[in-house]
Amino acid sequence: MGIFDKEIDITRNIKIIEWLKSELLTDIASLFKALVNGMKEEVHESISDTLANIILISYLLGRRLGLSYNSVEMKIENKIKLGLVENHDVEKYYGDLSELARHMNSSRARK
């Protein structure tokens, strides 16, 4: 690969990173708009779709920034464990972190 090809690849990577960042901001704005409307049944699907986009874009952005998908997942798992140890409010009042940990473990067990 010549110097010119490397420059094109770097430029392409920067453009993709900028595009992913703008998509992330757009989806976050869409999420906030949907939340203003409340959790009505017709909005529920939109919020689910938007959250899926945010997660997907986060993985892709991490990849373009040199992180592996596995390292991102490990960070998520570590944050869940820390929240459990520190008895974060979302865990204390709702048990969400325990439920998420079980979900992630069962998803891995199926693979």
H or E stretch covering 89: helix 89-94
Instruction: Report the pLDDT value the prediction gives residue 43, as an integer from 0 to 100.
Output: 77
pTM to 2 decimal places: 0.85
Residue 64 has pLDDT above 80, yes or no: yes
Instruction: Answer yes or no: is pLDDT of 1 > 80.
Output: no
DSSP 111: -
The count of C-alpha atoms lying within 13 angstroms of the C-alpha of 18, restricted to the half-sphere facing its C-beta, is 6
Enumerate the domain spans of the chain. 1-67, 68-111
Per-residue pLDDT tens digits for 31-43:
998 888 776 667 7
pLDDT in tens, 3-35: 767 778 899 999 999 999 999 999 999 999 888
